[in-house]
Chains A and B, each alone.
Chain A
Amino acid sequence: MKAASFDYIRAKSIDEVCLALNQGDGEAQIIAGGQTLIPLMAMRMARPQTLVDINDIEELRGIEIAEKVARVKAGTRQADVLGSIEIRENLPILSEALGHVGHTQTRNRGTIGGSLVAADPSAEICLIAQLLDAKMTAKSTNGTRSIPASQFFDSAMVTSLKVGECLTEVEFPIWEDEHIGFGFHETSIRDSDYALAAAAAQIAIDSSGRCERVHLAVGGATPCPLRLNEVETALTGKVVDDGEIDTAISVIPALLEPQSDVHASAEYRRRVSTILAARAIRDARDRAQGEFA
């Protein structure tokens, strides 16, 4: 036993979770897959007084495809979203990114909501939420509120969720433009290890190859996944050829303030993020044009 002692509640409903969090006075914490929290507890970097287990709550599990959005309940296992044909058809970039999340054993337990709430800087699910401007729904005894991704990730491992709030679902927008494509690239020390740098792009082009809209975000290199609006603006309305991409991405190094650690220097992360961003945009364009090899 490595974790500090705690009390355990197996909740049966979201309301019961909210009540337990409220009574916990900030010392109660939700546990879902536990793939981030249990290591933190083993190292005693987290010492919740009470764990509220949400694994039995049916209303926190499942995927719904509605008009222009995919709603993923917070407690849905990463492996189930990765294996979902509906997600692969409607949100292929999420499927692609999930293949890079941890390993089979951790994806079988880890949840979509758990990864978002943990807000690890290198987390692929957070990167895709930021890229597509997903909306998180949080519930507490005070009611329900919706938080856009741009206001959800505060810094490394910190979100804007308040004490007493339970993330219940995340809504990923589905693009319905005629020609869309995505690109996802990451660099890590070993396959499926934490990303040193990652980039994701999604593009919609018209039949003449002109960019109607593009989203680009990088992760791993900054405390939170970062949308690169400057690059998006530079590419919108243009025919996205390789020269145009190279010009647009040239601003990226100046936009990033990465950390150095034992695995990679800040300068390396800055350079690799920029190159991965270019690759992600090129793949997105090629897919949108039906030319992805």
Chain B
Amino acid sequence: MSKNTIQITVNGTSYEREVEARLTLVDFLRDELDLTGTHVGCEHGVCGACSVIMDGRPVRSCLIYAVMADGHDFVTVEGLGGKDGSLSPIQDAFWENHAMQCGYCTPGMLIACHHLLEENPDPTEEEIREAIGGNLCRCTGYQQIVEAVKIAAQRARGSNL
């Protein structure tokens, strides 16, 4: 069994831990760092529930071993809102528009949508659907999620006028 020491930054905090090589990043976040906001879904890269932001880009944390994450910087769903527990604009829009039912896909959806709006403040419906194409939701039919992203985008643009 191969043990390795890794140092990674998650939501601005640096952590050092010893991990077994086969530990996935999502299990590391949840079980070692107690950051249980990121959900474990399919564990083989199909559902997108475990999406996190790695060095500024969304990735699937079940498809990275924690040992490969050594030296990298991550943002998880816990890092989207304010330190005081306030919601981020995209989280607010999800909340108001019922962009979830069971909530299992929500952390992954939020990461995908948050990143979309950072890259593209005025996405078309097609671009929104493309951005969440790697995230499965079995409850909503996606409609409220798409609406929530549109509303968050509108508000962000409004506040910049």
Contact = CB atoms under 8 A, between A and B. Distances in A.
Interface of A: 1-8, 10, 31, 34-35, 38-39, 41-43, 51, 53, 55, 79, 102-106, 108-109, 190-192
A39 B45 contact: yes
B72 to A, nearest CB: 10
B111 to A, nearest CB: 9
A35 B21 contact: no
Contacts of A38: 24, 44-45, 62-65
Q: Which of B63, B70, B131 has the most CB of A within 10 A?
A: B63
Interface string B60-93: 1011110110100000000000000000000000
A108 B54 contact: yes
A211 B26 CA distance: 53
Interface residues of B, number: 33
Name the prevailing secondary structure of the B interface residues.
mixed
Contact of B57 (A7, A79, A103): A79
B43 to A, nearest CB: 6
Given A38-B44, A103-B133, A6 B22 contact: yes
Given A6-B21, A105-B48, A31 B68 contact: yes
Contact of B21 (A8, A34, A103, A109): A8
B23 interface: yes
B160 interface: no
A35 B58 CA distance: 14
A5 B134 contact: no
A192 B43 CA distance: 19
